[in-house]
Structure 1
């Protein structure tokens, strides 16, 4: 499933995109609140995962400063956006480093898989925040060790005890 390409701009100070109802309703009718999105601006392209949120009768999606900088857009710049059905397991791409560490640690993987989808995404995003592959490996190992110690608070998962 995919939407047509549509024009959009960043609105307000919340780094959000005000989404056209005709674009989001077909996804919501199929209970697809998380989508994969492709944004295009002046020859640059960015693919990301996001959630369709409803506030005050309108539909929004977060589009943070990191995405804005990567795409080269500023508030009030119009760019193209298209939605696709999100077929990823976690609603975000799993970093290969975390995936490998979880596959090698049965106990930590069982704990990770017992979490809510949002909690899993939070942990994945923590690891994705590191650019260097070796750092991602090190942090993934640390997260797994802390999960087995009983740590459940996301910021504390990255602390050495």
Structure 2
């Protein structure tokens, strides 16, 4: 699997257009999840993303938070490298959540029974938490709520 590189200019609010030939390279191989490396003004970042399609265009989401971290402004030049996402969940798994899942077989089984999108959503929720102990606490709450039979994303993250 070879990485795909292209240069572009940032010109939209929260997405980056992917050239059709590069998008097709991943789509034809059935790789919808990718790892994106963006370099701008000698700063770079890497993140997981999904190839999105709208009409005849492909794009990836590029949040305001990511734009701020890279200090990207409209019309700034970007160098982008796309790679196949080989992670289990399509996103980086926080070590605290991984430890909680490893220590609770029943909770891990319930977590694995969720759709891929729900798993990613819960992982993203925990990734946003800065404090390690708070991440552990939130992971424990999610697992306990799964054991209670709760499956609604918004309810899973609440302490009862």
TM-score class, shorter-chain normalisation, is over 0.9
Matched, 1:69 2:60: no
- Once the two structures are superposed, the pairs formed by residues 1-161 of structure 1 within 5 Å of their partners are 1-13=1-13, 15-161=14-160
Deviation at 1:53, TM superposition (A): 1.1
Q: CA RMSD in A?
A: 1.2
Deviation at 1:104, TM superposition (A): 0.6
Q: Deviations over 1:41-61 (max 9, x none)?
A: 112110100011111111111
* Alpha-carbon distance in structure 2 between the residues aligned to 1:33 and 1:62: 13
* Alpha-carbon distance in structure 1 between the residues aligned to 2:118 and 2:158: 17
**1:94 is paired with a residue of what secondary structure?**
coil
Q: Is the 8 A contact 1:5 1:82 kept in 2?
A: yes
* Alpha-carbon distance in structure 1 between the residues aligned to 2:4 and 2:17: 16
Q: How many residues align?
A: 160
Q: Is the 8 A contact 1:52 1:59 kept in 2?
A: yes
* Alpha-carbon distance in structure 1 between the residues aligned to 2:84 and 2:4: 12
Q: List alignment gaps of at least 5 residues for structure 2.
A: none
Q: Deviations over 1:55-96 (max 9, x none)?
A: 111111101111111111022212111001111000001100
Deviation at 1:6, TM superposition (A): 1.2
Q: Is the 8 A contact 1:7 1:80 kept in 2?
A: yes
Inter-CA distance 67–2: structure 2 relative to 1 (3 Å threshold) = farther
**1:5 is paired with a residue of what secondary structure?**
strand
**2:45 is paired with a residue of what secondary structure?**
strand
TM-score (normalised: structure 1): 0.94
